[in-house]
Chains A and B, each alone.
Chain A
Amino acid sequence: MRMINRHPPKGLVLLLALLPFFLVFLTYVTASAIRLADNPADKLLPALSSIADAIDRMAFTVNARTDDILMLVDTLASLERLAISLAISITLAIVAGLAIGLLPYPRALFSTFVDTFSMVPPLAVLPILFITVGLGEAAKITLITIGITPPLIRDVAMRTADIPRQQLVKAQTLGASTWTLTLRVVLPQVLPRLIDSLRLQIGPAWLFLIAAEAIAAEAGLGYRIFLVRRYLAMDVILPYVAWITLLAFMMDFGLRILQRRAFPWFADARASA
């Protein structure tokens, strides 16, 4: 039988999915044991028990110096920054994307600019960002927004342009104004695709968040990681990385559910496209 037609049996699917995780885990435990045998105080690959201690200390114990649970404070600070930037980015993407995709004048004006601007690496122009918006929350939110908005706008614009011309003509013959047409014909078709594109931008959004927090901050998941990196506390960094991964995965999962619930027709539309 051809490889392409060979499917693993149901029971095996879950096992296969778990296998790579298990292998990574096994590799870690082995490498950690080898290093710890050589140097019991090794910080690079701490034992699982040290990691558990660190989790207990960071996530379940009130810090004596700050009277807070550090991991909770960090998570809330990071999620707040992420939520605000995502809200701004989504709004900008819908407004600018629809305008560029639908209206000839904005397209002529902005299309090339957005295409060009989206290629600027935001991290390379950080000093300018600091001078304009300062070092506080605004800088972090701006960095994330600058990082993920251009690709979102481009995607919305392209998806808008993908909508069959006949649909727009038909709506116009039925008397729709530009505004009604945008709201009733284009927007509903673009939104589920925006969720697709948003799912792809979750990764970069976290990347920019952590970069922003590494530069100047008092709290945040990225702040903590870069702070404790100063003395190689991998026992704190590794749980934080796992936690970030889980949060990002949950966001991705949530968006997928949202897409299925809010736009149940979209799965069929995508399959037939």
Chain B
Amino acid sequence: MKTGYLRQMLRGPAMAVLMAGLGAAIVLPLSSAAFAAPKKEFKLAWTIYVGWMPWQYAAETGIVKKWADKYGIKIDVVQVNDYVESINQYTAGGFDALTVTNMDALSTPAVGGVDTTALIVGDFSNGNDAVILKNKGKLADIKGQKVNLVEFSVSHYLLARALSSVGMKEKDVKVVNTSDADMAGAWKTKDVTSVVTWNPIVEEVMIDKAARKVFDSSQIPGEIIDLTVANTETLKDNPDFGKALAGIWYETLALVVSQSPEGKAAREAMGKASGTDLAGFEAQLAATKLFDQPAAASAFTKGAEIGATMDKVRRFLFEHKLLGNDAKSVDVVGIELADGKVLGDKKNVKFRFTDTYMSAAAAGKL
């Protein structure tokens, strides 16, 4: 009898229900974005980088909770160990906000159809990214060398800008894709003669006496920008989320640049959390143009340079087929600047800059 019952069950509607349930269980988490609902809980993904450490400090010291409570929401600040994975998870709908560079925000979420708004322009790299050669003092010496870098990252962009500054093209070197986690180790091997990377790896590599910095991001100021972005739709439906993020950010940054004992303690904690110490963290801060004043961040966002930068960035991405393989022109994805001007396709705007939240912070209206 027992087997008969089992057989019945396997054939009957119970099996169908089981299979349907199983199917739904697999499909639903993959399509959560399809169900927009009024939200009270938000998730921000961040990764370790000098310009993003304030998020971790803010979460740990209760600044995040303070501002979230003020707007009656909950903000979960999640550290993701792998930068690329954090972008991919945000793009797939796993996070509402993300720390990311201007270039990566365009190449992954925006090209992937996830309308993204840059609501905080945190800093730009002012020396944190560098081209380093072994025993050679001139950038022109890079010709014909193998260059180890994370392909399609801001390092790749920096290399392209560096090469064009001395009249060379990418064809004049051979790019070897190398994981950032292994860059410092790679430098110590004999066959690696040049790398392009970012801090704290730059500091690590520069310890070697043979290392010569031949080009860095301070030579292209304002082009590698570190942002905090959010999903445009989520932000539109929940402006309080954006206001809370801006509130958290500028309260924390005031501490980061403060000369008070509290400021020093904050910098020390952030340094420790990013694998260095107070001195190391301050050295990295020195190579970063941090917009600690919301008014300055807002002015930079509204300025003319950012449009010119985004134009260079999108051309770089287009040349490397990163605006989509079937992209016919550089205009395929629209980028809206803070003044409403659009670069590229006006009907397909997927990446936006806005000074709304920074200006509100500057005006004390949060």
A residues in contact (CB < 8 Å) with B: 1-3, 23, 26-27, 30-31, 34-35, 37-45, 53-54, 57, 126-127, 130-131, 134-136, 214-218, 223, 226-227, 229-232
CB distance from B189 to the nearest CB of A (A): 5
Report chain B residues within 8 Å CB of A223. 177
In the bound complex, how far is the Cα of B186 from the Cα of A30, in angstroms?
43
**What are 27 inter-chain pairs, A to B, with CB distance below 8 A?**
A3-B3, A23-B23, A27-B23, A31-B27, A35-B31, A39-B33, A39-B113, A40-B113, A42-B112, A54-B325, A57-B325, A130-B185, A130-B189, A135-B176, A135-B178, A135-B191, A135-B192, A215-B179, A216-B186, A223-B177, A226-B177, A227-B152, A230-B108, A230-B151, A231-B108, A232-B88, A232-B108
The answer to the question of B188 belonging to the interface, with a C-beta cut-off of 8 Å to chain A, is: yes
Report chain B residues within 8 Å CB of A2. 3
In the bound complex, how far is the Cα of B88 from the Cα of A74, in angstroms?
24
B residues in contact (CB < 8 Å) with A: 3, 6, 19, 23, 26-27, 30-31, 33-34, 84, 87-88, 91-92, 107-108, 111-114, 148, 150-153, 174, 176-179, 182, 185-186, 188-192, 322, 325-326, 350
In the bound complex, how far is the Cα of B23 from the Cα of A30, in angstroms?
9
CB distance from A234 to the nearest CB of B (A): 9
In the complex formed, the residue of B with least CB distance to A30 is: B27
CB distance from B341 to the nearest CB of A (A): 23
Known: A135-B191, A227-B152. Is A31-B26 also a contact (CB below 8 A)? yes
B177 lies within 8 A of A41 (CB): no
In the bound complex, how far is the Cα of B197 from the Cα of A173, in angstroms?
68
CB distance from B120 to the nearest CB of A (A): 23
Report chain A residues within 8 Å CB of B190. 134
Chain A facing B: main interface SS: helix
Other than the given A43-B113, A230-B84, A232-B108, 13 more pairs (CB < 8 A) read: A31-B27, A35-B31, A38-B33, A43-B108, A44-B112, A135-B178, A135-B189, A214-B179, A226-B177, A226-B179, A227-B152, A231-B108, A232-B92
In the bound complex, how far is the Cα of B107 from the Cα of A48, in angstroms?
22
Report chain B residues within 8 Å CB of A230. 84, 107-108, 150-153
How many residue pairs link A and B with beta carbons under 8 A? The number is 121
CB distance from B325 to the nearest CB of A (A): 6
A34 lies within 8 A of B92 (CB): no
In the complex formed, the residue of A with least CB distance to B190 is: A134
The 6 A-B residue pairs with the shortest CB-CB distance in the complex, in nearest-first order: A41-B113, A43-B112, A127-B185, A34-B31, A216-B178, A39-B113
B182 lies within 8 A of A216 (CB): yes
B107 lies within 8 A of A231 (CB): yes
Tell me which of A31, A43, A229, A231 contacts B31 (CB under 8 A): A31
B186 lies within 8 A of A135 (CB): yes
Report chain A residues within 8 Å CB of B178. 135, 215-216
Report chain A residues within 8 Å CB of B112. 39, 41-44, 231-232
CB distance from A170 to the nearest CB of B (A): 51
In the bound complex, how far is the Cα of B31 from the Cα of A134, in angstroms?
44
Known: A23-B19, A216-B148. Is A232-B191 also a contact (CB below 8 A)? no
B88 lies within 8 A of A218 (CB): no
In the bound complex, how far is the Cα of B6 from the Cα of A66, in angstroms?
59
In the complex formed, the residue of A with least CB distance to B88 is: A232
Known: A27-B26, A126-B185, A230-B84. Is A44-B92 also a contact (CB below 8 A)? yes
In the complex formed, the residue of B with least CB distance to A42 is: B113
